[in-house]
């Protein structure tokens, strides 16, 4: 992505409202799956969930986690968010791989260590997860022609479908 476009995206995604609407469902799913795994209630029980996206989604995720360094996100970059056991506790680690020449970089989410206790991670992510999906997604936009529209998206959790009907 050209640097100017990266700056434009950063300007667009300034407020928590925009981050909630773009990443809320993903962060909600990641947090929910981690809690279920910790409690032994993940069904079916899995060790890996993998998501795919474009550089702009990787950028948005890094930015939402407050670990974006302002540099271009290269093709095939990856964010690894892992739930690990540390003794009797569960911790979350976040890594960023932007090249195949080095191992992924271990990141520290502000407000946490590189091994972030799950409870702390959930607390830090809660502002990104919409509390009332219907209310937070019900905004209709008006242009100069007084035409109302909403942008449809596919593959969302059921509770988010009302946002784009």
Domain ranges of the chain: 3-131, 132-165
Average pLDDT over residues 20-42: 88
HEC letters along the chain: CCHHHHHHHHHHCCCHHHHHHHHHHHHHHHHHHHHHHHCCCCCCCCCCCCCCCCHHHHHHHHHHCCCCCCCCCCCCCEEEEEEEEECCEEEEEEEEECCCCCCCEEECCCCCCCCEEHHHHHHHHHHHCCCCHHHHHCCCEECCCCCEECCCCCCCCHHHHHHHC
Residue 5 predicted with pLDDT over 90: no
Per-residue pLDDT tens over the stretch 90-125: 999 999 999 889 999 999 999 999 999 999 999 999
Q: Are 109 and 124 spatial neighbours (Cβ–Cβ below 8 Å)? A: yes
Angle at 134 (CA atoms; ends 132, 140), nearest 5 degrees: 125
Residue 15 predicted with pLDDT over 50: yes
Q: Are 79 and 95 spatial neighbours (Cβ–Cβ below 8 Å)? A: yes
Is the peptide bond between 148 and the residue preceding it cis, with omega within 30 degrees of 0?
no
Residue 11 predicted with pLDDT over 60: no
In this predicted structure, what is the pLDDT of residue 40?
93
Torsion angles phi and psi, residue 142, rounded to 5: -120, 135
Q: Name the pLDDT band for 78 (thresholds 50, 70, 90).
A: very high
In this predicted structure, what is the pLDDT of residue 162?
56
| Averaged confidence pLDDT in the chain | 78
CATH code 3.40.50.1240 for 3-131: yes
Q: Name the pLDDT band for 163 (thresholds 50, 70, 90).
A: low
């Amino acid at each position: 992505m050209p640097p100017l476009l990266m700056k434009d995206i950063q300007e667009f995604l300034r407020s928590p409202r925009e981050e909630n609407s773009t990443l809320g469902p993903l962060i909600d799913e990641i947090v929910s799956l981690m809690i279920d795994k910790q409690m032994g209630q993940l069904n079916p029980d899995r060790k890996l969930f993998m998501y795919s996206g474009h550089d702009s989604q990787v950028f948005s995720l890094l930015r939402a986690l407050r670990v974006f360094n302002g540099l271009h996100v290269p093709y095939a970059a990856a964010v690894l968010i892992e739930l690990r056991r540390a003794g009797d506790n569960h911790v979350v680690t976040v890594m960023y791989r932007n090249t195949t020449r080095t191992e992924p970089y271990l990141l520290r989410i502000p407000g946490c260590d590189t091994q972030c206790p799950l409870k702390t991670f959930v607390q830090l992510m809660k502002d990104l997860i919409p509390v009332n999906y219907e209310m937070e997604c019900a905004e209709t936009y008006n242009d100069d022609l007084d035409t109302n529209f909403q942008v449809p998206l596919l593959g969302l959790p059921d509770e988010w479908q009302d946002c784009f009907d």
